[in-house]
Amino acid sequence: NSAQGDAKTTDKLVIVLYEETTKTVVQSLDAGMRNQGTANVVVPAFLTGRSVHVWATFVASNDKLYATSQYLGTVVIA
């Protein structure tokens, strides 16, 4: 955890995926908490084997504070 500014261990992780060919967007508005260190995102089966762009941000547990999102690059859906 960053312990910077307003960051809290209870912040919710938000993940957004984008697949260019099908123009599919997948959002997980509560993929985990900051202190968990991992996240799970359910994606449609048709995205298996496709490369997706990934963005992430954190949202305060009360939904009142939002971090600046970060582009994390691409991953291939397994």
Confidence of residue 25 (pLDDT cuts 50, 70, 90): very high
Q: Is the pLDDT of residue 11 over 80?
A: yes
Confidence of residue 64 (pLDDT cuts 50, 70, 90): very high
Mean pLDDT of 17-23: 98
What percent of the chain has a predicted confidence (pLDDT) above 90?
77
Alpha carbon 12 to chain centroid, angstroms: 9
**pLDDT given at position 19:** 99
Rounded to whole angstroms, the Cα distance separating 16 from 22 reads: 15
**pLDDT given at position 37:** 86
Judge whether 58 and 48 are in contact, CB under 8 Å.
Answer: no
